[in-house]
Structure 1
């Protein structure tokens, strides 16, 4: 089987180990140029793993999908997860518990008092497009908002109501049917993955599992991470990441390899039928 990983170069040890394991039984390439998809059907891989957030990688994935290849996660699902406004709308439409969210063309435009009228302080301000180094900030008042303008004034943003919680995020990683979770100090305060505290399966409430899976289903994701906060025992989905690094998940290499091989096995016959 031909497998192509679309990902930026990174030292992610989980992904490196997954590639090594898959390469023992399959032909695995990393990256991929548009020509490899356009040149002809025979050169299209059977399975594409869309890890990259780049427009080029998504374009490659779309062309491969059009030629009958299987793409995990699909380009449409990935694009929705990268657009936080589209994500918020989709979660709301599917009844997934999530914060009320508003969108604004730029942070500078949002800082106008008329735009802020009636919004519940404090607010969580985020870049509309999810990317490395983007804006994610808890803003308590107008003064704190104004302080962001010199650097972020022209940034398209969304604004979310702040869900009061115990100061911890619940990180949930989903790999097909496999789900694991950990507790982490809220990213709004600090992001120290080394301090994650794994949550035993027996201690993970069904409501938390259901909320994470509902979020993935709403966005059409098969491999994803969901960030939850808990208020009065109720989980709220505050973010969803398509194809995260899975560092911190339980047995991520084994789970990913098992899932991808079973997914590919069941879909390969369909893929070859489409191409023929």
Structure 2
């Protein structure tokens, strides 16, 4: 039988150090003029197509999402439902072979969007949802809060709620217990992007705006592989930003940079008419 230290050592030995994908950041409360902001730069190999899709399931809330199509990792990458609950994800730095060797685990983003209308409702059922999730990182927002979720292996997860201030994540574990459980080396890209987005937020004046978040998403400060907007081993293929006020309709700003195509930007008001 393997001991926990030996398992950790094996994970470290198996772990490559690729330029892992995605940068997430958000703001809540006084940092977001009383509401919330949530943002994702989606980085991946430029080997597929992305589409926006509105889904009205037979049961649960309707949602609008950014989908990847035509590669080895298709599916929902960011979404917002008709109640204003928004979710974005980033890859864990556990080796992909380890993350995928979990037959009882599955993706949870669609379930969260269809089943939950608030961060508090999701937290009340966190064990039911995240103990069955594949290893991943999430930022989830409603009108009042931003929830950070780190999911490890075998049902391990950690939650952090922010109702006034900022939240940031890239592709390595931050929770002390999960960092201890999965001590593999952090990639230079993940570390650099994490430091950069926190530095930029620190240099900006709160309350932040959707326009400020959009400007931050285009940052090229650290070169093609380590910047927030990337064009090296991986590309930034989309920017997804949702501003949800304390009252009124959320706004979505999304940029899609599909390989070989002209960049497309959409600004949408997610009001009752939108969801009809």
CA radius of gyration, larger in: 1
- Greater RCO, 1 or 2 (C-alpha within 8 Å, sep 6+): 2
TM-score grouping bracket, smaller chain normalisation: under 0.3
Q: Compute the TM-score of the two structures, normalised by the length of structure 1.
A: 0.26
Higher helix proportion: 1
